A and B are shown apart, each in its own frame.
Chain A
Amino acid sequence: MSESATLAESGAVKPSLWELIWTFNQIALASFGGGLSAWSREILVVEKQWMGEEEFLSASTMCRILPGANQINLAVFVGAKFGAIPGALAAVFGLTLIPVLIVLLLAVLYFQFHNVPSLQKILHGAAAAAVALTLAMVVKTGRKCLHGPVPTLLFLSTFILNGVLRWPLLLVLAIVAPLSLIWAWPRPKNK
């Protein structure tokens, strides 16, 4: 953990409600075409340094396991960390308000005029870049946590089971998560 000591871990960071709203709004707006998870990391971990890499990754996995939309869950999680209930509300509000208005506008356009072809073309290009941003996140986070054969094996088996074979998330986690925990359980000897 020492190498990833962040502003957040030193307790130096305490974003206000406005900062939470604004930051999550930024994450949401950046993610047109997709890649919301990669954008969350880009802004929360890299730019703002509100969370360490490991804290971010484990929080995202818990937010995947729990019911609900992953990124909204992450907003609740991060918002609550900094500002309890008002913080959670602010983060969710920031993440969803403008997108809801945009989606509403698109809904009106779509149901009145049916198709917006140039919009689809733009999104096609943006989506290709969003996939790239997600791939880049794999490389950047992988460099930090995939040291040695065990974590690499955990990483590969999760990818193959969930991505290539398309096994349901819960089944994959039921197999891989216990192995991960056994591997990562703190051992006094090593400390």
Chain B
Amino acid sequence: MKTWLQIIMLFGSLSLLSVGGGNSVLPEMHQRSVNEYHWLTDNQFADVFAISQAAPGPSILIVTLIGYKAAGVFGAFLATAAVIVPAGVLVYLVSRFWEHAARSPIRMAIEKGFAPLTVGLVLATAYVLGRSTDHDWRSYLLTAVCAAVFIFTKVNPLIVVAAAGLMGFLGWLG
């Protein structure tokens, strides 16, 4: 029961603190769940981080793994709900305002002006991700070839991602 409350309080507050995305509260999440509550060890935290990054779906689902270790399956669902609901309510309210502002200058300016900025952020994401996942020339080459396929052909991206996964499985990437 005490653990349930700790899960709700921790992940509920992290939800509202995670400005800029889930990764911004990882240091705090680590501090509280490893050093303060001792739900998992340092190494386990690093491993569940890797699992959550690579598994399908949002990487914030690291909290599902931490919740599971802290309080079993129920803890997993509790942690997931706690991290989604507070921020979700806030986004919902903003989206309502957005809908009402349909033809206002501010919305037109944001839609046009934020587009180049967002493309810059997406490139930054690709750059940071690429540096952490591509370790040697083989994975860089694979990324380059896949990017060319995505840009110049209409092949279903899922097939390309699955093929790349298969190449990894066969050990071609070292």
Q: Is the pair A72, B58 in contact by a Cβ cutoff of 8 Å?
A: yes
A13 part of interface (Cβ distance < 8 Å): no
Q: Which residues of A contact B48 (CB under 8 A)?
A: 107, 110
Number of residues of chain B lying within 8 A (CB) of chain A = 96
Once the chains are docked, how many angstroms separate the CA of A80 from the CA of B16?
19
| Size class of the A contact interface (CB-based, 8 Å) | 35 or more
B9 part of interface (Cβ distance < 8 Å): no
Q: Is the pair B118, A121 in contact by a Cβ cutoff of 8 Å?
A: no
Q: Is the pair A181, B57 in contact by a Cβ cutoff of 8 Å?
A: no
Given known contacts A72-B88, A100-B61, A124-B168, A177 and B129 CB-to-CB distance under 8 angstroms:
no
Q: Is the pair B69, A122 in contact by a Cβ cutoff of 8 Å?
A: no
B27 part of interface (Cβ distance < 8 Å): no
- Interface residues in chain B, defined as those with a beta carbon under 8 Å from any beta carbon in chain A: 15-22, 24, 44, 47-48, 50-61, 64-65, 68-69, 73, 76-77, 80, 83-84, 86-88, 90-92, 94-96, 98-99, 105, 108-130, 133-134, 139, 142-147, 149-151, 157-158, 160-169, 171-173
CB-defined A-B contacts under 8 Å, sample of 26? A29-B57, A30-B157, A30-B161, A31-B56, A34-B133, A36-B57, A61-B118, A65-B20, A68-B15, A73-B87, A73-B88, A92-B84, A96-B84, A118-B169, A124-B133, A125-B168, A125-B172, A129-B143, A129-B163, A133-B150, A154-B116, A163-B128, A164-B124, A176-B120, A180-B114, A185-B105
